Amino acid sequence: MKIKIDKKTSYEFSGYELTINTKILTHEIFQYIVDEIFDPISNIRINSKVIESIGQIDISDEALYCGSYPSLDLSDNGIECLDNIVFPEKIKFLRLDNNNIDSINGVKFPKRMSKLWLNDNAISCLYGVKFPGVLRKINLSRNNIETLKSAKFPKKLVDLDLRYNKLRKLDDFVFPEHLQSIELMFNHVETINSVSFPSNIKKIGLRGNELKNVDVAKLPESLDSIDLFEIPGLKVRNISKVNFSVFTDDKVHNYP
């Protein structure tokens, strides 16, 4: 049931999920709504198209009373800055996708968070970013990331999405040891010959990059598949020597 506070603000609460619709979200509006709801809140979705900063919003742990997987959804807003934001420690899934965020350096993410969506923003660098140690899935697709140099991903990370960025070199970069899926499709990667992929990796997506040659025999034997579609002039070596699926265009040249 939708409840109107005024002409610009309404909220809905159902099944422990709170959705706030407002043109301008202030701490007073947020606190008023939370105080009006007597039942436990597990998931919060904020829809406010003109938000540019959420620094003034106090989303305290007291607003999230229950649920095994509490989430905060701030996607599809106009958020530009996350400076000095402290998110609730109970949050396990944080959505910040489809905003105008250009930096996450200095952001204090919830320590218990296991899933983070930051796709469709304007992030260009990961230097100095401190991700939670228990984070398992990160979506950073459709940003402006040019390099992974000095980036530090959590050791327990299993799924990393970096599609549609501006990555060109991955030289000597060491991915987390527990990573099982890495999506690098539609970047500008020229070589992966010196990349240290985890020994237990299952899936690598490299479609639409600028690779010249790939020796698949040098990739981890744990792989289930590697996507090498849409790479004109690519030379792939030793396909016959591996037991995983190598997906390529018909015109790709295969070498023993």
Per-residue pLDDT tens, the chain, 256 aa: give them. Answer: 688 888 888 989 887 888 988 877 777 777 788 778 767 778 888 887 655 555 555 565 555 544 567 888 889 888 888 876 667 788 899 999 999 999 999 888 989 999 999 999 999 999 999 999 999 999 999 999 999 988 999 999 999 999 999 999 998 889 999 999 999 999 999 999 889 899 999 999 999 999 999 999 999 999 999 999 999 999 999 999 999 999 999 888 778 7
Neighbouring residues of 250: CB distance < 8 A, sequence distance ≥ 6: none
Q: What's residue 57's pLDDT?
A: 59
Cα end-to-end span (Å), the chain? 64
Q: What's residue 58's pLDDT?
A: 59
The residues facing 227 across adjacent strands are: 205, 247
**110's tokens:** 């919830």
Q: What's residue 80's pLDDT?
A: 85
- Measured between alpha carbons, how far is 11 from 245 in angstroms, rounded to an integer? 49
Q: What's residue 130's pLDDT?
A: 93
Separation in Å, CA 58 to CA 25, 103, 218, 241: 11, 21, 50, 57
Prediction pTM value = 0.90
Query: What's the count of helices (H) and strands (E) in the chain, helices before strands?
Result: 1, 16
63 in Cβ contact with 83 (< 8 Å): no
- Strand-strand pairing, 43-47 and 225-228: unpaired
